[in-house]
Amino acid sequence: MSSPLLALFGRSLREDTRLKMTYFARVGLVFVILLFLASTSSAFGWGNAPGLRFFGTVVFINFSFILLAGFSHFASAITEEKEEMTLGLLRMTNLNALSILLGKSTSRVVNALLLLAAQFPFTLLAISLGGVATRQVLAAYCTLGAFIIFVANLALLGSVVCRRSTGAAVFTGVTLFAFFAGVPFIRWVAMLPTYFGIVKTPGEWVVALNLCADAVGVASPINRLSQILSTGFAEGPLGAQVWSNLALGTACFLFAWALFEIFCSEQQEASQPRSLLVRRTSRLRAFGAGRAWPAALAWKDFHFLTGGKVWLVIKLSAYALPTALFYAAQMRWNPRPRWNELGYFTLSIAGMILAIELAFIAASVLRHERRWKTLSSLAMLPMSMRRIAYQKILGCLPSLVPAATYIVVGLIVVSDEFPRMPPPRWEPGAVIALAYAFTQGVLFLHVTATFSLYLRRGGLPAAIAAHFVGNMLVGIVMAAAREESVLVVMTVLCIVLTGVLHVHIGRRLETLAEEE
Amino acid sequence: MSEPIIDIRNLSHRYKSHQALGGVSFTVGRQSIHGFVGPNGAGKTTTLKVLATLLRPQTGGSVSVFGRDIVRERQEVRRKIGFMPDHFSMYRQMTVFEYLDFFGAAYGLGQAERERIIKDVLALTDMAGRKDDLINGLSRGMQQRVSLARVLVHDPDLLLLDEPASGLDPRARIELMEILEELRRLGKTIFISSHILSELATLCDHVTILDRGVVKYTGTMRGLMTGGEGTLSSYHLTLAAEHPATADALAKLPGVQRILPPLPNDPKYAITFDRAQVSLNTILQTALAAGAQIVSCAEDVKQLNQAFMDLTEPGVRS
């Protein structure tokens, strides 16, 4: 009889071994690597250290995929059981907290490490191409392997603590950001008085903060990978980053184990959150949902998916924060604020937020109905499925108003520069490039919406990955052809693909409503 | 039967390699409560989904609701029907009022009209006191009532209910049946699929039994139970043992199925007649003329579950 401790772990590994998808994923990854090889060759030829360029791209892609997996695949290890309400059933068996954690998460880590191992022989091609040594390849893979273990266990901790996969993904993202960017930023802010001579010697807490930031710098895979990919790298494959990431991963795992009983002991029904919406019986009912609009689905999604008026106010305030900080920093160094810089900053931040919000809306607007099995009720309404989907999208648009407002504000602030700017030259190349970029954005939203109707979770990261690989292919074609006409063809292709997906989403919704 | 509201003719549907429905035909009359029973995998939900316009028949047949073809006139049909699926699909973060208001608006009702209808359906489903409660906090029985209220919010003439009583406790089930009875009185036609046969037997006036995608019986509930429409049933007469001549006289009547002689511990004659061959009047007149002392006389009516077992085949449905 096998040990109950490893029962779930062993079963997960056996299942993964039997799944065709496991092998498709490995072959797919190798295919992507070969794609990079072709891409590097077409973009830079075989001169000027092509091996290093090729390997650098592979490492960068691996790093991005690990982050995406952290937000989706790893972060749902325990929350998927909570959402399906099957964690209680697992706990009724002989499996204890440790065996569940090993079975649900460690098996995923092993698979991710195997994916890295599968591509390793192919990346050795980089050595023969020149510009990179075996030591660098080994060190990079050790760095990525250790980072996988850290991210997976951090996501596992989030998965134990949070009730839903989205929460676990946000926990993982915010922690990683706070760890790798927050600490150095705080150190930078704390050192400002010393830089400007306000304080002659930094205080003890600043020194401690410095030490912390140095330690974070050592643990950062980005720093380590930049060292590895620089010429003259002569260290061993197992640097301080590897050990620190392994230690952090282990600590996260132990922490998740310790907290498992606290956060996973009671089976709670997965419920749709009402967010901050007040009821009509409340004194603050002006911020509530009120009566349904004639476009009822738009009303529903505005209030119950995007948070309604309360979230509009919150976002309007929160999105002003980066601009306010930028303005305060400007005022500290220069009493005469440079409004144009402020305008461009606001414009870029608001544009970025708008893009992120659009991606999240595309990922959730239809998935929400699928998840709560409400599509059959909607399909019974006397309107077509396409109209239902359009009304839902319409309901999500007001949530973009805060970001759009700051874009307009930014434009107004920088508008006094417009007369001084040279008149835009609408050359065909520039117009086509703009059209291509726009169609790319629209296509990405369609890919995300489509994926959200097929995958139970992780539709957005999968769409990012798919779009990325697709663009790599396009990059190869573009680099090979180097002609404007290719861009036109690609733009048309984007429009056709978007149209196909647009129609397909409607059909898929009807099928899902039938299947409910 | 009254004017048919649902008219299904030779309906077939196939899921990949599995034939879910193979030539199903039956009708449902106006203002009736029509039960729809069958074992798991018989094709009940598929039929209901076709009727609800969620599923298009893949391989043939015609289905009309209120005389309108469900494929060609889908939107018109949808306005006249309300479908309650067999799973809880609700926006649980809404309050009861918001939920009903949303569906009312989605059906194109004006605000004042919605207000009035919601008040009525909440009163009918006995949920008026909970209209500002979150659906999430309601019990399963109450959520089922809200689901029924949602189906009624656009005042459909035909209700399609798929297992509405599943998962409910006995009190909630009885209350749900009372609401359905009330809805029939209000002029609704109800087509209900259920596994709780005892409740269907008392509630429904018509029934269709489906097995492996084929209709095994369709007609009145009484017809199914009394055997008037093809199934067998009988009369049971019990006589005191003191008058053996009576038993001899009754034995000469047509349709005698069985005569059980008196036993030491049960000194009675028990005689069974096929009710298709002899009337109860004849039996009683003969017995009384022979000077019998009648202990009991009963019409042997089949229970729905017995009819169900007789008509459906055993074994696991694939």
Encode pLDDT of B43-79 as tens digits.
Answer: 999 999 999 999 988 777 889 999 999 988 988 999 9
Average pLDDT over residues A213-237: 87
* pLDDT confidence tier of residue A42, bands split at 50, 70 and 90: low
Range A353-368 average pLDDT? 94
- Report chain A residues whose CB lies below 8 A from the CB of B88: 373
- Average pLDDT on B146-155 reads 92
Q: Please tell me which of the candidates A277, A281, A292 has its beta carbon nearest to residue B105.
A: A292
Domain assignment of residue A83, given as a range? 1-265
DSSP letter (8 states) at residue B95: B
Q: Which helix (H) or strand (E) holds A322?
A: helix A320-333
pLDDT of A424 > 60? The answer is: yes
DSSP state string for B180-194: HHHHHHTT-EEEEE-
Rounded CA gap, A58 and A33, in Å?
7
* CB contact at 8 A, A25 and A115: yes
Chain A residues touching B54 at Cβ < 8 A:
376, 379-380, 513-514
Provide the b/e sequence for A469-496 (b: ≥16 CB within 10 Å): bbebebbbebbeeeeeebbeebbeebee
Q: A416 falls in which pLDDT band (50, 70, 90)? A: confident
Average pLDDT, chain A: 85
Q: Is residue A204 part of a domain?
A: yes
Percent of chain A scoring above 70 in pLDDT: 90
Q: From chain B, which residues contact A within 8 Å (Cβ)? A: 49, 52-55, 75-76, 78-79, 81-83, 85, 87-95, 97-98, 101-108, 111, 114, 132, 134, 136, 150
- The arrangement of secondary structure in B234-300, i.e. its CATH architecture, is 2-Layer Sandwich (3.30)
d(CA B174, CA B32): 19
The mean pLDDT of A34-39, rounded to a whole number, is 76
Secondary structure of residue A449 in the 3-state scheme? helix
- Report yes or no on A416 lying in a domain: no
Q: Which among A402, A375, A397, A417 has a CA at the least distance from the CA of A505?
A: A375
Residue written as token pair 């109905």: A369
Q: Go through chain B and tell me how many residues it has.
A: 318
Query: CA-CA distance, A168 to A152, in Å (whole number)?
Result: 11
pLDDT at residue B272 above 50? yes
Whole-number Cα distances in Å, A388 to A393, A451, B46, B96, B259: 9, 19, 23, 22, 69
Integer CA distances (angstroms), A69 to A111, A123, A463, B231, B238, in order = 12, 21, 12, 63, 79
- B132 → closest Cβ in A274, A281, A377: A281
Residue B266: per-residue pLDDT: 80
What is the maximum alpha-carbon separation in chain B?
A: 78
Inspect the interface and report whether the beta carbons of A289 and B98 lie closer than 8 Å.
yes
The mean per-residue pLDDT over the stretch B24-49 comes to: 91
Q: Tell me the C-alpha distance between A5 and A8, whole Å.
A: 8
**With an 8 Å Cβ cutoff, are B132 and A280 in contact?**
yes
Query: Minimal Cα distance from A374: which residue of B?
Result: B89
- B79: distance to nearest CA of chain A, Å? 6
Tell me, what DSSP letter sits at residue B87?
A: S
Nearest chain A residue (CA) to B55: A514
State the Cα–Cα distance between residues B181 and B303, nearest whole angstrom. Answer: 21
Query: Is pLDDT above 80 for B24?
Result: yes
Instruction: Select the residue from B55, B77, B93 to test the A interface by mutation, using most A Cβ atoms within 10 A.
Output: B93
Query: Of the spans B32-46, B244-258, B289-303, which averages the highest pLDDT?
Result: B32-46
* Closest CA–CA distance from residue B6 to any residue of chain A (Å): 17
Tokens of A88: 């209680």
Are B1 and B229 contacting, i.e. CB atoms less than 8 angstroms apart?
no
Cα→Cα distances A253→A97, A107, A219, A238, B40, Å: 11, 13, 17, 21, 45
For residue A379, the chain B residue with the least C-alpha distance is: B54
Q: By C-alpha distance, which of B195, B206, B149 is closest to B173?
A: B195
Q: How confident is the model at residue B150 (pLDDT cuts 50, 70, 90)?
A: very high
> Could you tell me the two tokens for B208?
């269709």
CA angle A415, A421, A425 (to 5 degrees): 115
Has residue B41 got a pLDDT over 90?
no
Which of chain B's residues have a Cβ under 8 Å away from the Cβ of A394? none
The listed range with the strongest mean pLDDT (A217-226, B51-60, B256-265, B269-278) is A217-226
Residue B26 has pLDDT above 50, yes or no: yes
What are the start and end residues of each CATH 3.30.70.100 domain in chain B?
234-300
**B179-229: per-residue pLDDT in tens?**
899 999 989 999 999 887 877 888 899 999 998 889 988 988 878 776 554
Q: How far apart are CA A409 and CA A403, in angstroms?
A: 10
Contact between A374 and B89 using a beta-carbon 8 Å cutoff: yes
pLDDT(A174) > 60: yes
Cα gap B107→B128, rounded to integer Å: 21
CA distance A168 to chain B (A): 21
Please count the other Cβ atoms lying within 10 Å of the Cβ belonging to residue A27: 11
Overall number of domains in chain A:
1
Which residue on chain A is closest to B110 by alpha carbon?
A: A294
Cα of A292 vs its chain's centroid, Å: 34
Distance between CA A95 and CA A101 in Å, rounded?
10
Is A181 inside any structural domain?
yes
Are the beta carbons of A453 and A462 closer than 8 angstroms? no
Query: Which of A304, A377, A387, A511 best probes binding to B when mutated, by most B CB atoms within 10 angstroms?
Result: A377
Give the orientation angle of helix B170-185 with respect to helix B140-152, to 10 degrees.
10
Cβ contact (<8 Å) for A297 and B49? Answer: no
Spatial CA neighbour of A443 closest among A398, A393, A496, A394? A496
Task: Output the CA angle B255-B278-B225, nearest 5 degrees.
Answer: 90
Report the phi/psi class of residue B304: left, alpha or beta, with left for phi > 0 and alpha for psi in -120 to 50: alpha
With CB atoms and an 8 Å threshold, state whether A383 touches B85.
Answer: no
What pLDDT does residue B59 have? 73
Which of A291, A300, A382 is opposite residue B78, by nearest beta carbon? A382
pLDDT of res. A314: 93
Query: A339-364 vs A320-333: helix axis angle to the nearest 10?
Result: 160
Residue B264, both tokens: 């030491």
CA-to-CA distance for B55 and B47, rounded, in angstroms?
Answer: 9
- Which candidate from A293, A372, A381 shows the least CB-CB separation from B107? A381
Closest by alpha carbon to A389, among A380, A400, A379?
A379
pTM: 0.79
Q: At a CB cut-off of 8 Å and minimum separation 6, what does A357 contact?
A: A399, A400, A403
Q: What is the mean pLDDT of residues A194-208?
A: 72
Residues A250 and A152: their CA atoms lie apart, in Å, by 10
Q: Collect all residues of chain A within an 8 Å Cβ-Cβ radius of residue B106.
A: 292, 296-297, 378, 381, 383
Q: Which residues are paired to B234 by β-bridges?
A: B274, B300
B-chain residues within 8 Å CB-CB of A380?
A: 52-54, 78, 81-83
B4-226 in CATH: which number? 3.40.50.300
Please say whether the beta carbons of B295 and B267 come within 8 A. Answer: no
Evaluate whether residue A423 is within a structural domain.
no
Tell me how crowded residue B96 is: count the other CB atoms within 10 A of its CB.
27
Give domain status of residue A455, yes or no.
Answer: no
* d(C-alpha A148, C-alpha A140), whole Å: 12
Spatial separation of the C-alpha atoms in residues A295 and B244, rounded to whole Å: 81
Give the pLDDT of residue B229. Answer: 47
Distance from CA of A299 to the nearest CA of B (A): 8
Residues of chain B with CATH 3.40.50.300: 4-226
pLDDT (0 to 100) of residue A24: 82
Q: Which residues, 6+ apart, have CB-to-CB distance to A245 below 8 Å? A: A143, A146, A147, A149, A150, A219, A221
Confirm whether A137 is domain-assigned.
yes
User: Which residue of chain A comes nearest to B150, CA vs CA?
Assistant: A377
Q: Between A476 and A372, whose confidence is greater?
A: A372
Whether B316 has a pLDDT exceeding 60, the answer reads: no
Residue A464, in any domain of the structure: no
Name residue, tokens 């009583």: B165
CA-nearest residue to B47 within chain A is A514
Instruction: Give chain B's mean pLDDT.
Output: 85
CB contacts < 8 A (A, B): 99
- Please answer yes or no on whether B89 and A372 come within 8 Å at the CB atom: yes
Q: What percent of chain B has pLDDT over 70?
A: 94
User: Among A288-292, A450-454, B28-32, B117-121, where is mean pLDDT lowest?
Assistant: A288-292
Bridge partners for B15 per DSSP: B18
> Is a pLDDT exceeding 80 seen at residue A187?
no
Neighbours of A59 (CB within 10 A): 22
Which residues of A are less than 8 Å from B134 in CB distance? 274, 279
Q: What is the DSSP letter of A319?
A: T
Asked if the model's pLDDT at residue A363 lies above 90, the reply is yes
List residues of A whose CB lies inside 8 A of any B CB.
271-275, 277, 279-281, 289, 291-294, 296-297, 299-300, 304, 372-383, 513-514, 516
Q: Find, in chain B, the residue whose alpha carbon is nearest to that of A509.
A: B54
Q: Are the CB atoms for A49 and A229 separated by under 8 Å? A: no
